[in-house]
Chains A and B, each alone.
Chain A
Amino acid sequence: MALFNYRNVGARGTGMTEARTLYDKIWDAHVVEQRDDGTALIYIDRHLVHEVTSPQAFEGLRLAGRPVRRPELTLAVPDHNVPTTARVDADGKRIPIADPESAQQLAALERNAPEFGIRYIDATAPEQGIVHVVGPEQGFTLPGLTLVCGDSHTAAHGALGALAFGIGTSEVEHVLATQTLLLKKSKSMEVRVEGDLGFGVSAKDVILAIIGRIGTAGGTGHVIEYRGTTFDAMSVEGRLTVSNMSIEAGARAGVFAPDEATFAYIKGRPMAPQGADWDKAVAYWKTLRTDDGARFDRTVHLDATQIAPNVTWGTSPEDVVPITGSVPDPDSFEDASKRAAARTALDYMGLSSGQRMQDVGVQHIFIGSCTNSRIEDLRAAAAILRGRHIAGGIKQALVVPGSGLVKRQAEAEGLDRIFVEAGFEWREPGCSACLGMNPDKVPAGESCASTSNRNFMGRQGPGARTHLVSPAMAAAAAVTGRLTDVRELATRD
């Protein structure tokens, strides 16, 4: 007896003619079967796997004697645990990972990928990097596809017009075995930003402004579509920074309609379509836009000209103020639980209300993570650091490129020398101090200007104090030893 009645739905949608959003279009094209309880079996086109959330999924398959349904649609790369110090010695031999548990997670992925026929990028390969940097960079991420990974920042891939979201380990196993997920459709939310960004203001400041406005629960239950002239003018790398932090805005996914910039970004990447397939793909991708008259469940508007370089003061990504602002008074919040949270946050961060953000000292700088570790991010930071040096009070300043390819590109441009001459450490790619699973951590009670995405208590190490900023702002803080308005250091050209 079948548990549910199913209705088959053809690829490319249900034949409905009403105006649809981009999210509707991608969703409709991926419904394998609609169930009458409101859930749908959704086909998953791309699956990224890293070492932390996959071992138990592979173990589950092994115990049940199940193969991977479409191994060619999954790509595995280690990133969370890998040390960012040298991985091979002078003779080209691999240096073992000191932490036995990190080493064990890596070894498990290295064993599982070939056993199940999955393409694996080794920790020592030039293409290795953070999964969310590697996917777009390799042309694995494409417009109109569904893409998942056992990691909440999978939302990043939405920048290219893919419906991308994070999943749990049981779902990782489900995707490996069936190439599908059982899902309920989310609501839709339009985040529209119009106007030109001011001097010194970056994509990171835009997404921090959005989260500051709608809060970390603002997008809960929704898929965001980012629209408006600000995003039209934004580079694909900037869009990746924005969609990456959709999860901090409460949304599981955030999408951008693919445009000429997207196509130019993808063309020629190793796993991207080629020749006649390319032309056919582009023709299809051009249809992936929200129809005129399509309805969103919620809409939020921001004026880009009002956005300043932003910083966070607390322990939630919604605790955002412009760098010209001050630490807020916890009593100024309407909500009682927010007042309590703000008091706890100020205590944890060692700040007092009314303190100017520009007077907050930092001892650590972290330029990296899947939010801000691509070549444009490194260029923006290097532009501030050229000919300057980190302040005396800075104990450690790290640059961790998002991938080996970003690292080599930066080296070809001479950016590594600018960082090193400024007093930064130039590291190997990985997640690093974004979450401190590897040895890169911020010590308790010390403050870090970080280009990552989460300022939770203990995120960068037990007791660590995180201020989220853009790469240029992190560089500016490095130079002065305190949170600094990058507009005072940058030169207009």
Chain B
Amino acid sequence: MEPVTQIDGRAYPFGVKNVDTDMIIAAEWLKTISRVGLGKGAFAALRADPANVFDDPAYAGSPILIAGDNFGCGSSREHAAWALADMGVKAVIAPSFSDIFSGNAFKNGILTVVLPQEQVYRLMEVARTDTIHIDLAEQMVTTPFQDRMPFDIDPFRKQCLMGGLDEVGLTMARGEAISGYEMRRMQAEPWLVPVAA
């Protein structure tokens, strides 16, 4: 994955509360075989409204999404994170997230930033006209107007995002330990390899 250190650019001033994974990407997309291309289906129901922020040219390709409370609730489908990643979203800022969505977002290189509701309102206001800056190393969201908003993040997630490390890559780096374990187990329990059909 691409290392994430600074995210800088326009932000969708979305702000809707309790957006569930069905609203992010509808169930019909569960039949796809790819994790790319889902951006086309993202927020489909909301996009029926011609005034929606996602189709406003001012925000086209924004790397940041500003959302409302409890973003990503509902099912565990990872398709929601894939859809945002495919739209080019690299960070979502909201007062709170569903745990599963946060985990899925992180696994797909998307930073989720939790900020108090007033600060999220403030960012919505800025986003309409100006850019927003996120510094992951400093754990700080800033605006061109001297706003400084510190945020917390799990140190493991931070290191993974900053190093562009994916969990698979990190575990693969433990390959020797896994091989050692496998050898011990195979000796004690030779039936671990299923009989070939």
What per-residue 1/0 map shows which CB atoms of A1-29 lie under 8 Å from chain B?
Answer: 00110101011100000000000000000
CA gap between A72 and B175 in the complex, in Å: 18
- The answer to whether B191 and A273 have CB atoms under 8 Å apart is yes
CA gap between A178 and B181 in the complex, in Å: 12
- The answer to whether A55 and B33 have CB atoms under 8 Å apart is yes
- The answer to whether B174 and A6 have CB atoms under 8 Å apart is yes
CA gap between A177 and B166 in the complex, in Å: 12
Q: Is the C-beta of A66 less than 8 angstroms from some C-beta in chain B?
A: yes
Q: Is the C-beta of A43 less than 8 angstroms from some C-beta in chain B?
A: yes
Q: Is the C-beta of B20 less than 8 angstroms from some C-beta in chain A?
A: no
Q: Is the C-beta of B182 less than 8 angstroms from some C-beta in chain A?
A: yes
Q: Is the C-beta of B153 less than 8 angstroms from some C-beta in chain A?
A: no
- The answer to whether A277 and B191 have CB atoms under 8 Å apart is yes
What per-residue 1/0 map shows which CB atoms of B168-193 lie under 8 Å from chain A?
Answer: 11111011011011101100111111
- The answer to whether A174 and B33 have CB atoms under 8 Å apart is no
Q: Is the C-beta of A173 less than 8 angstroms from some C-beta in chain B?
A: yes
Q: Which of B30, B166, B182 is A43 in contact with, Cβ under 8 Å?
A: B182
Q: Which of B30, B35, B76, B185 is A59 in contact with, Cβ under 8 Å?
A: B35
Write the nearest CB–CB distance from A188 to chain B, whole angstroms: 22
Total A-B Cβ pairs within 8 A: 127
- The answer to whether B172 and A56 have CB atoms under 8 Å apart is no
The interface residues of chain B lying within 8 Å CB-to-CB of A37 are: 156
- The answer to whether B185 and A11 have CB atoms under 8 Å apart is yes
What per-residue 1/0 map shows which CB atoms of B92-131 lie under 8 Å from chain A?
Answer: 0000000000001001100000000000000000000000
CA gap between A398 and B33 in the complex, in Å: 29
CA gap between A81 and B104 in the complex, in Å: 25
- The answer to whether B31 and A105 have CB atoms under 8 Å apart is yes
**Does more than half of chain A's interface fall in helix, strand or loop, or is it mixed?**
mixed
Known interface pairs A73-B193, A168-B76; A12-B171 also in contact (CB < 8 Å): no
Write the nearest CB–CB distance from B165 to chain A, whole angstroms: 8
- The answer to whether B189 and A102 have CB atoms under 8 Å apart is no
- The answer to whether B171 and A180 have CB atoms under 8 Å apart is yes
The interface residues of chain B lying within 8 Å CB-to-CB of A179 are: 178, 182
Interface residues on A, range: 35 or more
Q: Which of A6, A43, A119 is B185 in contact with, Cβ under 8 Å?
A: A43
CA gap between A280 and B188 in the complex, in Å: 9
The interface residues of chain A lying within 8 Å CB-to-CB of B78 are: 56, 168-170
CA gap between A75 and B194 in the complex, in Å: 10
The interface residues of chain A lying within 8 Å CB-to-CB of B182 are: 43, 70, 179
Write the nearest CB–CB distance from B141 to chain A, whole angstroms: 25
- The answer to whether A271 and B185 have CB atoms under 8 Å apart is no
Write the nearest CB–CB distance from B64 to chain A, whole angstroms: 23
- The answer to whether B168 and A56 have CB atoms under 8 Å apart is no
- The answer to whether A277 and B190 have CB atoms under 8 Å apart is yes
CA gap between A182 and B156 in the complex, in Å: 13
Q: Is the C-beta of B48 less than 8 angstroms from some C-beta in chain A?
A: no
14 A-B pairs within 8 Å (CB atoms) are namely A3-B156, A32-B178, A43-B178, A55-B33, A56-B34, A70-B182, A75-B194, A105-B33, A178-B172, A178-B178, A179-B178, A270-B197, A284-B189, A437-B31
Known contacts A3-B156, A170-B107, then 17 further A-B pairs from the complex at CB < 8 Å, ordered by chain A residue: A4-B156, A41-B178, A46-B194, A56-B33, A59-B33, A59-B35, A60-B168, A66-B172, A75-B194, A104-B33, A145-B192, A178-B175, A270-B197, A271-B197, A280-B191, A284-B189, A437-B31
